[in-house]
């Protein structure tokens, strides 16, 4: 039983509320990623679970037991820090053994556990070295090793890859995924601001928001599986945060709504069908249409329905795909990501077809209108 439950958890520093109304359940053995912009409190949330920060109010439970006032060392958690936090005056072996020694673990048991962890992480030849004699990747492995030997119920990772270079980061990402496979009963919580890492690793993403909305809407913008957040964002913040380049947002007005979906009109006059439930709204209501750049497909000539016409202002070719910049104003970027190399386009507006199921509608509050089809059928539509 290593599930983690947070009930109505709040954190403030003095008068500043950083985290508000956190309700969250992380299942036994789940890989959960806290994702969000900087300053959203994702690291603070992790540190509260670790016991390094106090919980201002609300309940934190690990394995069903209330942990608010339990010492960090007694929470059965192990943490991997962003800058490794290895003790510089101790050898790799001593670093890994330190926690066990404090817990009065017998010496041969310590040696056994350190050896096994070192073997798993391929750091056996480094055991006698000091941290400063190691490369970034090796230090990160030692930090992970220090967590493994404690056989924790919960692994906590605080942006563990952000100090590594790009190539090593991808490699260590795979190793962390392997670690999750090797310890199927330990829950893992991983903090990052990198959505690629989050999408690649997570069973569940908890996307946190920052700014004024925290107090009115709560810190958690949405939590769910990576694809759920990608295909079924609950609000504009989630829709805009996940995906690169960001989702395009276009102002529209509601034409009509029924059980089949909603029909909206763009400022330029095109009509778009979206399979969402807008029956609570009256015709003429201002809405925002969301379409991801990768879902804007150049339409074959003569296509008239479900198209958005835009002038292409500039092009970036990357070989595997190209970005077409379609926005008239720099404040509201609008990009189409197309598969082909695009060397030149017509001078007039170009038509892009958008599948109804790839469209999202947001009301004036920024909340997504409820989708009519379920996520799986939409994914393969």
Partner 1 sequence: MAHRSFKLSRLSIPVLGLFWLAVTTLPFLFVVFTSMKTLQETYTNPVWALPESFSLDNYIRVIEGSYLTYLRNSAFVITISVILIVIVSSMAAYALARLKFRFNTALFGLIVAGMIVPLHVTLVPVYLMTRAMGLYDTLFALIGPYVATSLPVSIFILTEFMRQVPRELEEAALLDGCGPFKIFAKIFFPLSTPGISTVAIYNGIMLWNEFVFAYVLTSSPETRTLPLAVWEFQGQYAADIPTILAVVTLSTLPLIIVYAIGQERIVNGMMAGSLKG
Residues that bind partner 1 (CB under 8 A): 47, 50-52, 71-73, 77-79, 81-83, 85-89, 98-99, 102-103, 146
| Dihedral sign for Cα atoms in the order 228, 232, 237, 241 | positive
Q: Token pair of 208, please?
A: 């946190």
How many Cα atoms sit within 13 Å of 275 on the Cβ side? 15
Is-contact 160 82, C-beta < 8 A?
yes
Which C-beta is closer to partner 1: that of 87 or that of 282?
87
Question: How many CB atoms neighbour CB 4 within 10 A?
Answer: 24
Compute the distance between CA of residue 72 and CA of residue 49 in angstroms, rounded to an integer: 9
| Minimum distance of partner 1 from residue 98's CB (angstroms) | 5
Residue 198 CA to residue 238 CA, distance in Å, equals 13
Please state at what angle helix 107-120 crosses helix 92-102, rounded to 10 degrees.
130
Min dist. Cβ of residue 89 to partner 1 (A)? 5
| Min separation Cβ 102 and partner 1, Å | 4
User: Do 310 and 349 contact (CB within 8 A), yes or no?
Assistant: yes
Largest CA distance in the chain: 78
- Cis, bond preceding 245 (omega within 30 deg of 0): yes
The residue among 42 and 360 lying less far from partner 1, judged by its C-beta, is 42
Q: How far is the CB of 191 from partner 1 (least distance, A)?
A: 14
DSSP string, 218-278: -SEEEEE-HHHHHHS-SBHHHHHHSSSSPPEEEEEEEEEEETTEEEEEETTS-EEEE-B--
Minimum distance from residue 131 beta carbon to partner 1 (Å): 10
Q: How far apart are CA 171 and CA 346, in angstroms?
A: 43
108 DSSP 8-state letter: H
Instruction: State in angstroms the smallest separation of the CB of 158 from partner 1.
Output: 9
Least Cβ distance, residue 85 to partner 1 (angstroms): 4
Nearer Cβ to partner 1 (72/370): 72
Nearest distance, CB of residue 186 and partner 1, angstroms: 15
Beta-bridge mates of residue 155? 78, 188
We find the least distance from the C-beta atom of residue 71 to partner 1, in angstroms, to be 8
**d(Cα 329, Cα 378) in Å, to the nearest integer?**
32
Nearest to partner 1 of 82, 115 (CB atom): 82
Nearer to partner 1, 98 or 325 (CB): 98
Place of tokens 């009065």: 104
CA distance 72 to 67: 9
The structure tokens listed for 364 are 């004036």
Could you tell me the two tokens for 111? Answer: 């040696």
Give the nearer residue to partner 1 in terms of CB position, either 47 or 141. 47
Quote the least distance from Cβ 91 to partner 1, whole Å: 13
């Amino acid at each position: 039983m290593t599930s983690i439950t947070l009930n109505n958890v709040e954190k403030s520093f003095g008068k500043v509320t950083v985290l508000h109304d956190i309700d969250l359940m992380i299942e036994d053995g789940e890989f959960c990623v806290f994702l969000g912009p900087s300053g959203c409190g994702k690291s603070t949330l992790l540190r509260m679970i670790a016991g390094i920060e106090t919980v201002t109010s609300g309940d934190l439970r690990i394995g069903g037991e209330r942990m608010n006032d339990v010492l960090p060392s007694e929470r059965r958690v192990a943490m991997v820090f962003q800058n490794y936090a290895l003790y510089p005056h101790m050898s790799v072996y001593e670093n890994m053994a330190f926690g066990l020694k404090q817990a009065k673990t017998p010496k041969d048991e310590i040696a056994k556990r350190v050896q096994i962890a070192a073997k798993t992480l391929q750091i056996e030849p480094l055991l006698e070295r000091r941290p400063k004699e190691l490369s970034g990747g090796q230090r990160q492995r030692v930090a992970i090793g220090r967590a493994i030997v404690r056989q924790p119920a919960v692994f906590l990772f605080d942006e563990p890859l952000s100090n590594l270079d790009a190539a090593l980061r991808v490699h260590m990402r795979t190793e962390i995924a392997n670690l999750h496979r090797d310890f199927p009963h330990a829950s893992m919580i991983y903090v990052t601001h990198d959505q690629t890492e989050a999408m690649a690793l997570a069973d569940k993403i908890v996307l946190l928001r920052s700014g004024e909305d925290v107090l009115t809407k709560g810190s958690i913008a949405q939590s769910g599986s990576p694809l759920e957040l990608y295909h079924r964002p609950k609000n504009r913040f989630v829709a805009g945060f996940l995906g690169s380049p960001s989702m395009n947002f276009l102002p529209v007005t509601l034409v009509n709504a029924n059980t089949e979906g909603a029909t909206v009109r763009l400022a330029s006059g095109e009509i778009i069908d979206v399979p969402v439930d807008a029956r609570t709204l009256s015709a003429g209501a201002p809405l925002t249409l969301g379409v991801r750049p990768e879902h804007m497909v150049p339409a074959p000539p003569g296509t008239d329905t479900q198209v958005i016409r835009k002038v292409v202002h500039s092009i970036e070719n990357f070989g595997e795909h190209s970005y077409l910049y379609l926005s008239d104003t720099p404040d509201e970027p609008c990009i189409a990501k197309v598969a082909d190399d695009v060397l030149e386009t017509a001078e007039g507006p170009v038509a892009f077809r958008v599948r109804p199921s790839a469209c999202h509608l947001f009301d004036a509050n920024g909340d997504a209108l409820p989708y009519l089809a379920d996520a799986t059928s939409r994914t393969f539509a």
